[in-house]
């Protein structure tokens, strides 16, 4: 645990008592503060009360009197589409609103560094797609290189739940737009921006607000080094804003779609080859085509982002290449579940939007595609360029028929549930094809989350493989 500093003897309101909220309450208490906790769920309040926390409804008259700050869980809307009433109450009372990420950076910077020969460093990764894989890949490579490292944030444990870092340790954080947008302190040593595609637009008032939230990690944080994916206009804009000139070595540009030129520091992936270029000369290259845990162009982009962050720390290219080979991938993200008679079964349940699903489809030459669920804003038109590799779609979800109608002339079977979809796809798949779960939709019509959906897919595949 990282004890929260700066609030010794003060009252701090904690709104939301999920994983990050409870961790914040514990860390505040460990740092000498008095947490006053609340959640709209009676079950969550009961769990917090069993740990001895004081339950205080911030909407009660006088509840925020004498409160020094309020920390808010990332799932609670703080501006769009409408701020939670308790947050508006904090604004009215003049109480600063923060979150666990802000408390983390504030408290880590106040640590006792006298015992460290090499101070700990933080790599923070954000973006629309690929940030989990990129963060996990960075952590894996650091561990393989023999460096102490911890992985936290939107993946793994909460930022305040990590152990106090040891000498020379690297903390790798995956940070969502929700987490970045509200944090009052952001000071990573290396910050990574993978890409930007439309997502969570209701929470940020549109695409511009969504990008603005991501941009705060760089504009507010002032990292020593920035690794920026420039395959979208927002990334190119951000890179231009950060660079002091064409050869600014603090900026590492990343692309998986085009060759980058100029005197700067670039990492690109083309036709399966990662290439590092500095001052117009190639410094290193890695063949990614045989890295089983990183299939497809989208994962090659993730590899480039991870490579850039690792090179920013001075890790040698050959050390990174060796570590790439042993990376197994993440659950529910291009996860290879099994293989039978030349048919591969892949779980990409995390492909909850059109862009992520398109990238998953493009990673395999011939696909039996399991898709469907709660469709997001923007429709399915973004999938059209990659549907040529799809032999047939097997649609699940409560609105499966409506989803199927939007797939045009593609051969489609409305299956509704996962068991039928997997059984039908497996029965019809031919050698060389991939049965791929890449829903292009949210899971909440049938599942609690994408992990549960992915587990159902794996369970159904296990039944097929057992026959």
128 carries a ligand binding annotation: yes
93 with 110, same domain: the answer is: no
392 annotated binding-site participant: no
What does the pLDDT read at residue 393? Answer: 97
- Could you tell me if 33 and 76 lie in one domain? yes
The pLDDT tens digits for 81-126 are 999 999 999 999 999 999 999 999 999 877 666 677 788 999 999 9
The answer to whether 181 touches 154, Cβ cutoff 8 Å, is no
**Residue 133 assigned to a binding site:** yes
Residue 138 to residue 302: CA distance in whole angstroms: 10
Checking DSSP bridges between strand 97-98 and strand 67-72, what pairing results, if any?
parallel
Instruction: Return the closest-CA partner of residue 399 out of 352, 460, 349, 446.
Output: 446
d(Cα 284, Cα 306) in Å, to the nearest integer? 15
How many Cα neighbours within 13 Å face the side chain of 79?
15
Residues 58 and 119 in one domain: no
Token output for 347: 């779980």
Based on the fold, state whether residues 91 and 112 are members of the same structural domain.
no
The answer to whether residue 156 is domain-embedded is yes
- Check whether residue 143 and residue 76 sit in a common domain: no
What is the tally of structural domains in the chain?
Answer: 3
pLDDT at 113: 60
Q: Are 126 and 33 in a shared domain?
A: no
Q: Is the CB of residue 174 less than 8 Å from the CB of residue 132?
A: yes
DSSP string, 351-399: --SHHHHHHHHHTSSSEEEEE-SBPPTT-SGGGGGGGGGEEEEEEESTT
Rounded CA separation 220/154 (Å): 20
Strand order in the sheet with 251-255: 149-153, 170-174, 121-126, 190-193, 225-229, 251-255, 265-270, 273-278, 281-287
In a domain, 5, yes or no: no
The model's pTM is: 0.85
Strand stretches in 271-357, DSSP E:
273-278, 281-287, 335-340, 343-347
Are 135 and 151 within 8 A, CB to CB? yes
CA 325, distance to chain mean position in Å, is 22
**Where does a domain end: 325, 346, 367?**
325
Distances (CA, A) of 156 to 72, 133, 150, 171, 370: 19, 12, 9, 12, 27
Look up residue 234 and give its two tokens: 């927002």
For 234, the enclosing helix (H) or strand (E) is helix 233-242
Given a cut of 50, the residues of the chain with pLDDT beneath it are: none
Give yes or no: residues 243 and 367 share one domain: no
The sign of the torsion formed by the CA atoms of 158, 160, 165, 168 equals: positive
pLDDT of residue 376: 83
State how far the Cα of 107 lies from the Cα of 320, in Å rounded to an integer: 31
Query: What are the residues whose beta carbons fall under 8 Å from the beta carbon of 341, sequence distance 6 or more?
Result: 431
Q: Is 286 helix (H, G, I), strand (E, B) or coil?
A: strand
Q: Domain containing 45: what range? A: 11-98
Looking at 98, 118, 139, the residue that finishes a domain is: 98
pLDDT tens digits, 320-374: 999 999 998 888 988 889 999 999 999 999 999 898 899 899 989 999 999 999 9
**130 annotated to a ligand binding site:** yes
Same domain, 315 and 368: no
Tell me, yes or no, whether 3 lies in a domain. no
Query: How much is the pLDDT for 112?
Result: 65
SS3 251: strand
- Contact between 226 and 218 under an 8 Å Cβ cutoff? The reply is yes
Do residues 40 and 145 both lie within one domain? no
CATH number of the domain where residue 462 is located: 3.90.190.20
Using CA atoms, how far residue 414 sits from 8, 370, 397, in Å, is 59, 10, 9
Domain edge (last residue) among 98, 118, 147? 98
Written as one string, the DSSP assignment of 8-66 is TT-EEEEE--SHHHHHHHHHHHHTT-EEEEE-S-HHHHHHHHTTTPEE--TTSTTTTTT
**What is the chain's alpha carbon radius of gyration, rounded to the nearest angstrom?**
23
127 is in an annotated binding site: yes
Same-domain check for residues 127 and 18: no
Q: Is residue 2 part of a domain?
A: no
Tally the residues of the chain: 467
| Alpha carbon separation from 444 to 102, 182, 310, 376 (Å, rounded) | 30, 26, 36, 11
Tell me whether residue 34 is in a domain. Answer: yes
If we measure between CA atoms, which residue out of 134, 192, 194, 141 comes closest to residue 170?
141
pLDDT at 418: 97
**Cβ(15)–Cβ(87) below 8 Å:** yes
Contact 439, 415 (CB under 8 A): no
CATH, residue 206: 3.40.1190.10
Question: What was the pLDDT predicted at 114?
Answer: 62
């Amino acid at each position: 645990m990282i004890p929260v500093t700066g609030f010794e003897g003060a009252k701090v309101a904690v709104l939301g008592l999920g994983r990050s909220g409870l961790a914040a309450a514990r860390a505040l208490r460990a740092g000498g503060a008095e947490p006053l906790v609340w959640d709209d769920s009676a079950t969550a309040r009961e769990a917090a009360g069993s740990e001895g926390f004081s339950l205080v409804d911030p909407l009660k008259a006088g509840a925020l009197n004498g409160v020094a700050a309020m920390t808010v869980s990332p799932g609670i809307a703080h501006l769009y589409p409408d701020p939670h009433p308790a947050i508006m109450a904090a604004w009215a009372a003049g109480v600063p609103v923060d979150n666990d990420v802000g408390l983390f950076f504030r408290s880590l910077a106040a640590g006792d560094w006298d015992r460290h020969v090499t101070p700990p460093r933080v790599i923070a990764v954000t973006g629309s797609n690929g940030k989990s894989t990129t963060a996990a890949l960075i952590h894996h490579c650091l561990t393989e290189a023999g460096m102490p490292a911890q992985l936290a944030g939107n993946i793994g444990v909460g930022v305040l739940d990590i152990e106090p870092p040891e000498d020379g340790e690297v903390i790798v954080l995956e940070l969502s737009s929700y987490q970045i947008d509200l944090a009052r302190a952001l000071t990573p040593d290396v910050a990574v921006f993978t890409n930007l595609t439309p997502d969570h637009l209701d929470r940020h008032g549109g695409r511009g607000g969504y990008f603005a939230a991501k941009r705060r990690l760089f504009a507010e944080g002032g990292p020593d080094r920035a690794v920026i994916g420039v395959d979208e206009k927002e990334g190119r804009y951000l890179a231009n804003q950060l660079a002091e000139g064409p050869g600014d070595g603090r900026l590492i540009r990343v692309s998986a779609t085009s060759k980058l030129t100029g005197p700067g520091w670039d990492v690109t992936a083309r036709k399966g080859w990662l290439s590092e270029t500095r001052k117009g000369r190639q410094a290193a290259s890695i063949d990614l085509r045989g890295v089983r845990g990183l299939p497809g162009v989208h994962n090659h982009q993730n590899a480039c982002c991870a490579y850039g962050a690792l090179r920013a720390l001075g890790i040698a290219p050959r050390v990174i290449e060796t570590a790439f080979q042993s990376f197994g991938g993440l659950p529910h993200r291009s996860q290879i579940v099994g293989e039978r008679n030349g048919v591969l079964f892949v779980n990409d349940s995390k492909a909850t939007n059109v862009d992520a699903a398109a990238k998953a489809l493009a990673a395999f030459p011939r696909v039996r595609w399991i898709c469907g669920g709660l469709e997001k804003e923007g429709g399915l038109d973004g999938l059209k360029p990659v549907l040529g590799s799809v032999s047939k779609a097997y649609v699940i979800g409560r609105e499966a028929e409506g989803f199927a109608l939007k797939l045009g002339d593609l051969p489609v079977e409305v299956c509704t549930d996962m068991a039928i979809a997997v059984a039908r796809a497996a029965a019809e798949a031919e050698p060389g094809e991939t049965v791929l779960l890449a829903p292009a939709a949210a899971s909440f019509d049938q599942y609690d989350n994408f992990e549960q959906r992915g587990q159902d897919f794996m369970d159904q595949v296990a039944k097929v493989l057992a026959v």
